[in-house]
Amino acid sequence: MNIHIRERQEGTDMPQAQVPAIEISHLERTYGTFKAVSDVNITVPRGSFLVLVGPSGCGKSTMLRMLAGLEIPTGGSIIFEGREVASGSRGIIRGPADRDCGLVFQSYALWPHMTVAANVEWPLKVAKWSGVDRKARVAEVLKLMAIDHLAERYPNEISGGQQQRVAIARMIAPRPKILLFDEPLSNLDAKLRVEMRTELMRVHRATGATSVYVTHDQVEALTMATHVAVLKDGRVDQFGSPDELLHNPRTAFVATFIGTPPANLVPVTAVDGSWFFAGVRLGPSQDAGSAQLMYRAERLGVTDHGAENAVRAEVVESVPLAGRTMVTALVGETRLTAVIDRMHRFAIGEPIGIRLPSEPDGVFDEKGIRRS
């Protein structure tokens, strides 16, 4: 295979500090007739923490594997800090070892016959670091990850959380400029996941590297990210900061995927200048036909079943939430979630009334594209 390296042309370079860490342009990956990733365009500033989030099968892991050099794009390009590392038209440009990036797998992938210290030292040996430098760097990263006391143990002698720390230590040991994480916390219990999120953010700050993190957990995405790409069916539905996605979702999918709890989406019909849902008038409408109205959970009210101007619903879930209650109910096939400022245990199947405000938080068309 012919190898072509595309650098930025001399005289057109922006200052090095302003060169994006990652530029993804029209990226595609197909398997036969199936498009796992389709026309993805993302620019990531240096030092960012980018999270790729979406449901299973949306293409996020395939994207990460292309960034790591484990998959060859069938279209588009990937540029790391001004160097093109992959091109769909010319095949892979730079191999995984020549991308200055590290990868943590979901399964950790530690060598079972090597000690913790030897696992961390291994990529430094591959990179031909001197023995003195290897020893110093291993000690440094083991201390950073608070596992220096485990240096002579083997992977089967330590816990899952400790194995995760070893995998991260091994990744950052060669000082890569880009860190790639493929759902690294999915094998941990809930409490340990929270602790490791904090550790990963600390490692990100300590190394100064640009991080790309794959998850299906939108709580992780909003907690850790400076930038989030929400993927659906191989495409980026929206790219932006966590605040942008929460407060200004551009599609119905993003509105109902991001947030804890996510926004409610209510199918409505305009009749005589008003929106109607389940036979109840919600408010004035400037449109005609059908639409989907978005309401934040904290703006919904819960009242008695059959109360005036309230839709009738049946409780399917009731969860205490920091001194408040999150109650989810069904109106026909539509799920509505409200957060109320009091503790109350609703019974499953209990009939209630839900009041929606006259002004929605957003209006989407029937295809899920935002109107206002």
Question: What's the confidence (pLDDT) of residue 16?
Answer: 67
Q: List b or e across 51-76, with b for residues whose CB sees 16 or more CB atoms inside 10 angstroms.
A: bbbbeeebbbbbbbbbbbbebebbbb
Structure tokens that stand for 125 in this block: 């040996």
Question: What's the confidence (pLDDT) of residue 14?
Answer: 59
Local confidence band at 346 (pLDDT 50, 70, 90 cut-offs): very high
pLDDT at 7 over 60: no
Local confidence band at 1 (pLDDT 50, 70, 90 cut-offs): very low
Average pLDDT along the chain: 92
Is residue 307 packed enough to be buried (19+ CB in 10 Å), middle (13-18) or exposed (0-12)?
middle
Q: Is residue 124 part of a domain?
A: no
Rounded mean pLDDT of 28-50? Answer: 96
pTM > 0.85: yes or no: yes
Rounded mean pLDDT of 61-88? Answer: 95
Q: Is residue 211 part of a domain?
A: no
Q: Is residue 355 part of a domain?
A: yes
Range with the lowest mean pLDDT among 11-25, 35-49, 62-76? 11-25
Q: How far is CA 145 from CA 47, 51, 167, 198, 213, in A?
A: 20, 22, 10, 12, 18
Q: Is residue 353 part of a domain?
A: yes
Cα 265 off chain centre by? 21
Tally Cβ neighbours within 10 Å of residue 7: 10
Question: What's the confidence (pLDDT) of residue 106?
Answer: 83
Rounded mean pLDDT of 359-367? Answer: 94
Question: What's the confidence (pLDDT) of residue 163?
Answer: 94
Rounded mean pLDDT of 118-146? Answer: 96
Question: What's the confidence (pLDDT) of residue 186?
Answer: 85
pLDDT at 6 over 70: no
Structure tokens that stand for 271 in this block: 């009749």
Question: What's the confidence (pLDDT) of residue 15?
Answer: 65
Q: Of 89-103, 185-199, 332-346, which one has max mean pLDDT? A: 332-346
Q: What is the pLDDT of residues 259-314, one digit of tens each?
A: 999 999 999 999 999 999 999 999 999 887 899 999 999 999 999 998 989 999 99
Phi, psi of 184 (to 5 degrees): -70, -15
Q: Is residue 31 part of a domain?
A: no
Q: Is residue 197 part of a domain?
A: no
In sequence order, what DSSP letters do the residues of 200-228 get, joined into one string?
A: HHHHHHHH--EEEEEES-HHHHHHH-SEE
Rounded mean pLDDT of 155-176? Answer: 94
Local confidence band at 162 (pLDDT 50, 70, 90 cut-offs): very high
- Domain of 304, in residue numbers: 264-364
Question: What's the confidence (pLDDT) of residue 188?
Answer: 85
Q: Which residues pair with 58 in a beta bridge?
A: none
Local confidence band at 89 (pLDDT 50, 70, 90 cut-offs): confident
Rounded mean pLDDT of 176-201? Answer: 90
Question: What's the confidence (pLDDT) of residue 3?
Answer: 38
Q: List b or e across 213-240, with b for residues whose CB sees 16 or more CB atoms inside 10 angstroms.
A: bbbbebebbbbbbbbbbbbbebebbbbb
Question: What's the confidence (pLDDT) of residue 286?
Answer: 82
Rounded mean pLDDT of 341-364? Answer: 95
Structure tokens that stand for 108 in this block: 């950790």
Residue 287: CATH number of its domain: 2.40.50.140
Nearest CA among 362, 322, 360 for reference residue 341: 322
Rounded mean pLDDT of 322-344? Answer: 95
Between 107 and 9, residue with greater pLDDT: 107
Q: Is residue 175 part of a domain?
A: no
pLDDT at 336 over 90: yes
Q: Is residue 306 part of a domain?
A: yes
Rounded mean pLDDT of 38-63? Answer: 96
Rounded mean pLDDT of 322-350? Answer: 95
Domains held by the chain: number: 1
